[in-house]
Structure 1
Amino acid sequence: MLSSLIGLSRVLASSLLATSFAAPLEWSPNGQWLAFTITDLESTSILRDGWLLPQVELVSSAPAAAAAPSRVGAKHRVWASKFGANESVLIEESRWPLSSPTWGVDGRSLIFGRFVPVSDDADQTLVRGRYEVVVQSGLDQKKVIVVLPELDLEAEQLAAIIGLKPEISPDGRYLALPRPGKSAGVVMVRLDQGAVVKTIDGARHPSWAPNGLRLLFVQELEGRTGESARVVNILNRDLGSARPLKTNVALLDAPPIWSLDGQSILAVAQTTRAGMHHTQVDLVRIGLDSGPILPVMNFEGPPMGGPRNRNARLPMRRPGAGPGFGQAIPPGPALAADLVVAKSTLSLDREQEQCVAMIEIDGQEQSMRWCNIRTQRSAKLFHPLDLTLKIGAPSISPDGQTVAFRVEAPGMLGLPAYCDMATEAVTLIAPDGPTQRVWLELLASCSADILKTWSPQALGVKSVARATILPSPVEIAGNNPRQIRLRRLAKIANGLLNQPAPADAHDEPTSQAELRLFFDYLRGDYSAADARLAAVEARAIDPETRLRWLCLRAQILIGQGELERARGLVDYIARATRPQSYEIEDTPLGPVMATIPNPASDWSNDLAQTLHDGALRRSRSQLVGGMADGEGIENFTPPGVWEGLDGRVLDARPQFPFVPNEQGDAGEGFDAARFGGRMLVTPPRPRFTEPPMPNEPPVQPTAPPAPRL
């Protein structure tokens, strides 16, 4: 059976890219636990062996490194992680797909679906089995209900199971279960009887009203012109015929949400307002009694006070779009084309006051919008990690202060995390070893991509090949947007590295050492990076790799302020990489011996340029102004970086070049002691003297008094 599962997992890989990435994250009613499903696919590591060393063809190249080992065997796991603590409970584990879980009415049990094959001889394209509902009220207390005994599912249909989430009625008697298979559908299950009482073909996104008397679901119908339209249907508790809601707006794919009174629903739609000739994305309220559709707020207006995260970008503002519907909005000119929304997601807190919406518009970058429905204002627009990482499935906590989300990653899709929306502090959720490793590899890969596009602007020198992918501390000095992104990613990764390792973590110590070295260096903790480098350097078996690590050690010494030791290492590297190969060329003047350049000599040349006094002074001037703390990144200057520049330690107190040396010279009230230190600039000697008076000896210029230390 294992060989069949390995082959099937390869077929599932492409399908899971669009399913597990958008699988729901479920908060418990008290907001203390987060339940989710994770799929670990068979795939190679994101980072290749020796990823810190760029591939450069040298004269004496070393043998190519072997490919990283593969993770064999796909696993599906349902987890419950405690909020604010590094604690997770494994609910279910299977080689076959598991659905997303939902919390019971009491908030102490979990309900999820699982696929169980009939036999071990699984086919790679068509698998026969049954779909069960599992109600788990304890670690060893499970109640299994067989819902659909006979199913024949293809790979894509199996992959879609992770995106299905059952919905339990408020009284705990009925369960609306999305049906897996080629055609969508919802089956109504009586939990106390374990029987299917009704099947609704074509239904999606079931949701119970707060009083439990009505069920909402969405159907996609094809119109006369061939375009599909989403229709909201309401089913009464008697399980009779469903009644469609009449709307004149185009509903997007975000599932509608019941209002607190159960008399209306909130949905994301594209509307055309009076006086406007284009559509816009709005949050609307649709009444159940065919009343008017009331706009709640607009998702295209700018956030209040601008974006809080520099990594985020404001979406394109459409003419006429404003902050809310409480103000008059002037009409705008007609546009050539309407908005093309690729995907929309909506999540509300318990009181339906705080809202997190993610409207993905073609041609624009991803970002989350934190809104207040009561005031109809957008608090801010932000991306919790980095714009190069794709996020999905945002879910706001019941108190409205934290948002959980998933991050797309190859090999293990839909990595979970949560973010405090006030401080934008991100916590990665890694309940098992494979999840932790993929999280670290993903952040390292994202940071490496940023470093590949790094352009040293402070040095004004030509960029050359480096020994490692890490630039010199002098190159990344200053308030650079890329540096802010790198520090943020390194800070988030360091929080995960400081957590206790999961019990099933099987990473090699050397691999962990490289990741820790990489992130410690980007954080500016050069003392920790020096200790990590010793463990990584011990694996080097060829001279070229040892020289590369020696270059990195010189960069660490620069960061620690030990410039003389760094210059000594650079001189040694220059001698070790000096060209020693020659070739004879035939020229019109006869044979000429020419030196074959050694590409490795660029390493020492690059470091020598960063150690030049002019480059150090320019980088130092950038650090004097400090760094803004808009992203929660602390103002950080590596200790001792500039101590060796002119022989003294930088003083944070103000320094004035022409402060009088004596208190009496400055007049009443002047206290020279409050400035401290020696003067940075010595007063210049007078260049010209007045001509001497007749019969008087010439006046010799006197040197100014020595400054007080």
Structure 2
Amino acid sequence: MIASLLTNLVMVGVLMSEVSDPPVVWSPSGDWVAFVVATPSVEHSLARFPFFPPENDWAESNATRSDPLGSGRTYRLWAVRVTDGQALKVAESSYSLSSPAWGPDGRGLAFVQVVEDDRDDSLSWEVVISYGEDREVVRRRPLLRRPDRGEVLMAESVGWEPRGGVLAVPDPDHAAVELIELKTGETLRQLDDARFLSFSPLGSRMAFFRSRGDRWELIESDLDLGPESDRPVDLVAQPCQPASWTSDGQSLLYLKPGNPSAEGRQVRLFSYRMSERVPREVKEIESPALPGEQILGSYLSIGADGLDQFFVVQFSGRSTAIAYHQGSHPIDRIHPFSGLGMIGAPSLSPRGDQLAFRFGGPGGGSLPARITLKDKRLHPLLPDDELRAAWIVALAEAAEPGTPPRERPTRLPLAAELGEVGPSQASYKRLAELGSRLTRDLETNPVSRSLRVRPIAFYAYLQQDYDGVDRVLHELTRTAMNADQALRLLGFQAQLCLARGKDQEAREMLEFIRHQHRDEIARIEEDGNGGYTVSRGVLNRVSWPDELWKASEQQVEPRSGTRLETPAEPPQAAPSPFDNAVTPEGAPRSLIEIPPRP
């Protein structure tokens, strides 16, 4: 039973860079998920909401590009009960945390953390097992320097051997895995230049990846016999998750990209059977990479019997889908956001009825979610307001991740509204309804109202709720940080007039904008008599007024779509050691009261 449950939790992948999506790990019962996130404060997230094009957004242009996760982020390890959203914050740190592993009986959660001593600022590396509010430090040792693996460590999980006696823990400072005996806390074996270790279902064997120059070698070994039993299996590109054992413990499954061909590079599933000791290609799992595309990562999650298989391949420049196969037969393609955004690290629940995954990656900034496979209902995992704010920003970025073909005053209207190839309006509505709900949920958070205005306006527009945009338009104009943004907001107001059939009013605004000497415009203000005044002095040479004028001439209007249904209330969960330590996700909040525009 334990073997079949553990097989559900293992996924494999390949990655063309070292950064990959951290896993969302199911408890053996399927009642809980655990995951690591790195999120900034609510204020920091909302301040970088992508309302303006990136080259004109002050927050975007001044972001720290050297740190993919940005400054001021906090690492947190959460355990969330999936049936009702009850959550326990297991760990919190300014240093990266490893992804966790559930014990074979589901009562403990093991992870690696870095602890700083307040007395002398010294750092220690700790291996911890959490039992709800109680915890045990299995191993501690000092660190000679500050760890620098960051989001790379987040993607590496602790491994808990199915017999319960051994932990495989990643090193916070370099690529290495340490095998630790739980009873004594002693090191059984140190695997240098190694990543992503997985145990066989019976615990007697293990597999891991070892660095070999610019590639990684998959190694299969006997846990009890030591280094002399290490057997090379295959060379693959940069791995992003462990190799997966079949439930009988006799085969390994893993993914790797094939050699480039005229059709493009494809990701293939391989199998290695212990009795044969020869890797064999099983099948291609996704269409080839297009010219100019790179494979960012690929992932597999399998069911207990090996029949149900879920694949994700991440390509640069396109959104992702979850491919569902039964054996050798493709069955379905799942689009949690109707084809918008980047998905990674799928993880099938032990019962086989739900799939957890990450959104907005690849990397440690990706966000956790789950989907029910029967009705495809999406459930973002939201134990705190920091994750809500991060989701609000990620959804807006997913609406149009690439470079738009036309320059616009803001990121609205989206390219599809202007006749370009893109998702349907129904897809945007599904995304926007979730974004609007999460923005309303922040009403009780003591964050500045002005930081919520841009998300409110953005998602209301995508839902064609132009009255809703009107109610916050006056506040929106106050969020402009420079002269060009003020002028762009006036262009956005013209867009609203076009969408509502007020063509003459829109043309007057556009005529005003087009006839300004834009190289010197500094600020635009209403004069109180229905007109506008302009002060000058800021250099700007952008052409979006002409593009918007062309749109007005062509009478381009948004298309209609459907709305996302509200998920039904889930049933109550079974008791767990974590049940007595959880804090509520938060009671339903009332809608934001928006004052009418004066």
Tell me if TM exceeds 0.5.
yes
CA shift for structure 1 position 250: 5.7
SS of equivalent residue, structure 1 residue 493: helix
1:267 alignment counterpart: 254
CA shift for structure 1 position 97: 2.5
SS of equivalent residue, structure 2 residue 323: strand
Structure 1 residues 424 and 525, CA gap change in structure 2 (3 angstroms): farther
CA shift for structure 1 position 406: 2.6
In the superposition, the TM-score normalised over structure 2's length comes to 0.69
2:587 alignment counterpart: none
CA distance in 2, matches of 1:472, 1:283: 37
1:300-319 to structure 2, matched below 5 A, reads 300=286, 314-315=287-288
CA distance in 1, matches of 2:514, 2:161: 76
CA distance in 1, matches of 2:280, 2:110: 35
Amino acid at match of 2:270: V
CA shift for structure 1 position 180: 3.5
CA distance in 2, matches of 1:215, 1:558: 66
CA distance in 1, matches of 2:59, 2:227: 65
CA distance in 1, matches of 2:481, 2:150: 46
Aligned Cα root-mean-square deviation (Å): 5.1
CA shift for structure 1 position 283: 2.6
Structure 1 residues 524 and 82, CA gap change in structure 2 (3 angstroms): farther
Amino acid at match of 1:536: L
1:37 alignment counterpart: 36
Structure 1 residues 299 and 82, CA gap change in structure 2 (3 angstroms): same
CA distance in 2, matches of 1:280, 1:50: 35
CA shift for structure 1 position 537: 5.1
Structure 1 residues 428 and 68, CA gap change in structure 2 (3 angstroms): farther
CA shift for structure 1 position 520: 1.1
Q: Residue 430 of structure 1: which of 382, 385, 391 is its match?
A: 382
Tell me if 1:131 matches 2:125.
Answer: yes
Whether the 8 Å CA contact 2:50–2:393 is kept in 1: the answer is no
Aligned-pair identity in percent equals 23
Deviations 1:224-254 (A, max 9, x none): xx77551422224x45455234647768735
Whether the 8 Å CA contact 2:404–2:415 is kept in 1: the answer is no
Q: How many residues are matched?
A: 519
1:470 alignment counterpart: 412
CA distance in 1, matches of 2:270, 2:193: 24
2:432 alignment counterpart: 490
Q: Residue 287 of structure 1: which of 273, 286, 306 is its match?
A: 273
Deviations 1:106-133 (A, max 9, x none): 22331111112356555xxxxx632212
Whether the 8 Å CA contact 1:401–1:420 is kept in 2: the answer is yes
2:135 alignment counterpart: 142
CA shift for structure 1 position 550: 6.4
1:61-460 to structure 2, matched below 5 A, reads 73-83=72-82, 85-117=84-116, 122=121, 129-138=123-132, 140-147=133-140, 149-157=141-149, 160-190=152-182, 192-212=183-203, 214-220=204-210, 222=212, 228=215, 230-236=217-223, 238-245=224-231, 247=233, 253=239, 254-269=241-256, 281-290=267-276, 293=279, 295-300=281-286, 314-315=287-288, 343-359=297-313, 365=318, 367-374=320-327, 376-381=328-333, 384-385=336-337, 389-408=341-360, 413-420=365-372, 425-447=377-399, 452-454=404-406
Structure 1 residues 401 and 315, CA gap change in structure 2 (3 angstroms): farther
CA distance in 1, matches of 2:134, 2:190: 28
CA shift for structure 1 position 509: 1.3
Deviations 1:22-43 (A, max 9, x none): 3222122233322111123699
Structure 1 residues 157 and 604, CA gap change in structure 2 (3 angstroms): closer
CA distance in 2, matches of 1:112, 1:96: 13
Q: Residue 516 of structure 1: which of 418, 433, 456 is its match?
A: 456
SS of equivalent residue, structure 2 residue 144: strand
Structure 1 residues 183 and 205, CA gap change in structure 2 (3 angstroms): closer
SS of equivalent residue, structure 1 residue 97: coil
In the superposition, the TM-score normalised over structure 1's length comes to 0.59
Deviations 1:335-361 (A, max 9, x none): xxxx99664322223333222223457
SS of equivalent residue, structure 1 residue 524: coil
CA distance in 2, matches of 1:446, 1:348: 27
Tell me if 1:23 matches 2:12.
Answer: no
Amino acid at match of 2:196: H
Q: Does 1 or 2 have the higher relative contact order (CA < 8 Å, sep 6+)?
A: 2
CA shift for structure 1 position 511: 1.8
CA shift for structure 1 position 608: 8.4
Amino acid at match of 2:288: P
CA shift for structure 1 position 414: 2.5
1:60 alignment counterpart: none
CA shift for structure 1 position 92: 1.1
Structure 1 residues 117 and 228, CA gap change in structure 2 (3 angstroms): same
Whether the 8 Å CA contact 1:369–1:382 is kept in 2: the answer is yes
Amino acid at match of 2:87: S
CA distance in 1, matches of 2:104, 2:186: 20
Structure 1 residues 364 and 576, CA gap change in structure 2 (3 angstroms): closer
Deviations 1:537-585 (A, max 9, x none): 577899998886666556546545xx4xx3564476479769699xxxx
Whether the 8 Å CA contact 2:267–2:298 is kept in 1: the answer is no
CA distance in 1, matches of 2:61, 2:249: 57
Q: Residue 442 of structure 2: which of 472, 484, 501 is its match?
A: 501
Whether the 8 Å CA contact 1:77–1:98 is kept in 2: the answer is yes
Whether the 8 Å CA contact 2:148–2:173 is kept in 1: the answer is no
Structure 1 residues 167 and 514, CA gap change in structure 2 (3 angstroms): same
CA shift for structure 1 position 476: 5.0
SS of equivalent residue, structure 1 residue 536: helix
Whether the 8 Å CA contact 2:324–2:334 is kept in 1: the answer is no
Whether the 8 Å CA contact 2:257–2:268 is kept in 1: the answer is yes
Whether the 8 Å CA contact 1:105–1:172 is kept in 2: the answer is yes
CA shift for structure 1 position 215: 3.0
Whether the 8 Å CA contact 2:23–2:35 is kept in 1: the answer is yes
CA shift for structure 1 position 386: 8.2
Unaligned runs of 5+ in 2: 1-15, 65-69, 518-533, 566-598
Whether the 8 Å CA contact 1:218–1:231 is kept in 2: the answer is yes
CA distance in 2, matches of 1:287, 1:411: 31
